[in-house]
Homo-oligomer: A and B are copies of this chain.
Amino acid sequence: MRKTNLEEAIGRKYPEWVTLVVAADESGRPNAMPAGWVTFTSIDPVMLAVSVGFERYTHGLLKQSDEFVVTYPSAEQKEDVYYCGNHSGADVDKFSETSLKKEEPARVSVPLVQNSVVCFECEKRGELVTGDHTIFAGEIVAAHVAEEDLEKIYTVKGWHEKGYAGFQTIEEMARGR
């Protein structure tokens, strides 16, 4: 192995999945933030953990609320995911400004996103500050899938400079190699 700087080393982690974290403010207005830093973290109960930067609008939402939804967006939602990553819920209503459509959840008060690959409804169970991000852990209390097995999207190396083309399906990545 060759010792190197963190930038080169981190470049080797891609592809990394991208999810949307949906959370709502006190009035119930929901917002969706793209998040790659998401992992499962318990089998019984089934839990997810999401790492969100302190300065993100969603960080405040997750601090004050006990519910959130994690969706895996489909390839058809690339442009909307890109828009969500480049605008703040403090400034815009992303469900108005994109083609993302809210759908009724089963257990929590935060909406699902239509045409996702899968949506997980979560109730917050713990938090851990890690550097400049907080990890929010949630128990999955309900789950929903698209009828079809839709293609997921992943960020590729250098995605920050690629616009929505930085989000690719498995097949697109395989063609690009």
Contact = CB atoms under 8 A, between A and B. Distances in A.
A137 interface: yes
A43 interface: yes
Main SS class of interface, A:
strand
Nearest to A43: B132
Contacts of A112: 1
Interface residues of A, number: 66
A39 B155 CA distance: 14
B120 A9 contact: yes
Given A13-B118, A39-B39, 10 more contacts: A2-B147, A10-B40, A12-B72, A37-B40, A42-B130, A42-B131, A42-B132, A49-B135, A128-B137, A170-B177
